Amino acid sequence: MARDAAQVKDVLARHREDERRDALRALLMCPLMTASHPAFHAVRRHERELRDWFSQAAGWVLHVERDCARLYKRPADLADASRGAADFDRRRYILFCLACAALERAEPQITLRTLGEKLLALSADPELGTRGFTFTLESHHERRELVAICRYLLSLGVLLRVAGDEDAFVSKVGDALYDVRRRALAGLLAAARGPSTWAPGHAPVQLDDRLVALTEEFTPDSDEGRRTAMRHHLARRLLDDPVVYLDELDDRPALRAYFQNQRGALAARLGEATGLSAEQRAEGLALVDESGELTDVAMPAAGTASHVTLLVAEFLASAGRARPGLPVGEAAVREAVRDMIPEYGRYWAKAAREPGAEHDLASNALERLEMLRLVRRDAQGVYPLPALARFALGDTELVARKRTVTKRDKGAERAQDALF
């Protein structure tokens, strides 16, 4: 009887640990979580452990309420521009900020048309006009921009659609009604201080300076305080970035030395809590999710764009091995994609086989690889990074499907695997 009770206790303990790990992973992917999220109730059940872990491991604050949870993930790398909302440019971000300001002062419910009218009033600010920003809501394109903002707010849980349809608003034949979730709206800004706390005329002028001021955190002037700050910095990068390279830390000798001495212990602690697998190499460290869930960009994945990305990764990895440390021109990448079409085009969407399609295909592939920190780009071209070497094919032959698969045939099989 006692043995059965102990087994049940062990099963319950493992179940609780698995649930806590799943909740932690969910917060990493969805730091602003409303009650409709499948993991929300698990987050509430494990609130204390999660809050303590995030605070100790990465210096991130977790705030949980009855209908909303917010993990205030402050980035370690402010220069990383790959974390923005999909299809958002500078203009759309301005509209997004104006929409949030309008919703802050709005009633608990608001229509899409009313929100548009409030944006018209806010966008009439003369300072925006001096920067070349205008918004009239008269054109079909501008109405679609407003709809894109609303749908992004819907995906974040800031708005909840009650009735209506956004497409009808674009066509000027209807409207949409939303509930405004104020707790989620209040949790959008993850800065250490709000922009409104600056006195008039004292706000930093340059964007980089403003970002630093918004996210600057207090660090105790002691050895322990500096070690804690370095540990938090590295943990944030390992939890958010696919890989951290030692070369990236050359300008911070103390951080590089700390990373070299502590990366094994750091990877073990983070991996145990998140279920990620550590890969340590001479060039750096990566925390890999074998399930492919904890990523914004999966590779490999289904679809034409993903297959092209995989083939471009192979091309760049081979180029990097042949010419270590030298860039590959983007024109050479486009040419390589064009040369792939006769062999692999039959696996791709029809539009990808049209003349000139290699430009968009190559650009999309390079963006994906850069987000995965597999390449670095500058004015000189594309630099393959060490982690890209795993996508280089060797000269060996593999036996599969009862026949010999050569390097050329393996690319065709990879296309089928990526697509199906």
336-361 pLDDT, tens per residue?
Answer: 999 999 989 888 999 888 889 999 99
Q: Which residue has the tokens 């990068």?
A: 237
Residues 325 and 412 in one domain: yes
- Tens-place pLDDT, residues 34-65: 999 999 999 999 999 999 999 999 999 999 99
* Domain shared by 271 and 354, yes or no: no
Same domain, 153 and 257: no
Q: Give the pLDDT confidence score for residue 1 in this predicted structure.
A: 63
Residue range of the domain that includes 245: 223-288
| Paired tokens of 228 | 């804690």
Containing 180, the helix (H) or strand (E) segment is strand 176-180
Rounded CA-CA distance 177/150 in Å is 11
* Cβ-proximal residues to 365 (8 Å cutoff; 6+ apart), any chain: 305, 308, 309, 311, 312, 313, 333, 337
Question: Same domain for 355 and 260?
Answer: no
Residue 412 — very low, low, confident or very high, per pLDDT cuts 50/70/90? very low
In-domain check, residue 51: yes
Q: Where does residue 388 fall: left (phi above 0), alpha (psi -120 to 50 degrees), or beta otherwise? A: alpha
Residue 4: count of CB within 10 angstroms of its CB: 8
Whether residue 46 lies inside any domain: the answer is yes
- How many domains in the chain? 4
Asked if residue 130 and residue 58 are part of one domain, the reply reads no
Instruction: List pLDDT tens digits, range 194-235.
Output: 888 888 778 888 888 888 888 888 888 899 999 999 999 999
User: Which CATH number do you get for residue 173?
Assistant: 1.10.10
Asked whether the predicted pLDDT for residue 413 surpasses 50, the reply is no
Residue 328 lies in a domain: yes
pLDDT digits (tens, 9 = 90+) for 112-138: 999 999 999 999 999 898 888 999 998
* Of the residues 261, 288, 315, the one at which a domain ends: 288
**Element at 34 (helix H, strand E):** strand 32-34
CB 306 within 8 A of CB 418: yes
Domain end point (choices 72, 98, 118): 72
Of 146, 160, 141, which is closest to residue 92 (Cα–Cα)?
146
Closest residue by Cα to residue 43 from 26, 58, 61, 18: 26
Distance, in Å, from the CA atom of 295 to the CA atom of 413, rounded to the nearest integer, reads 25
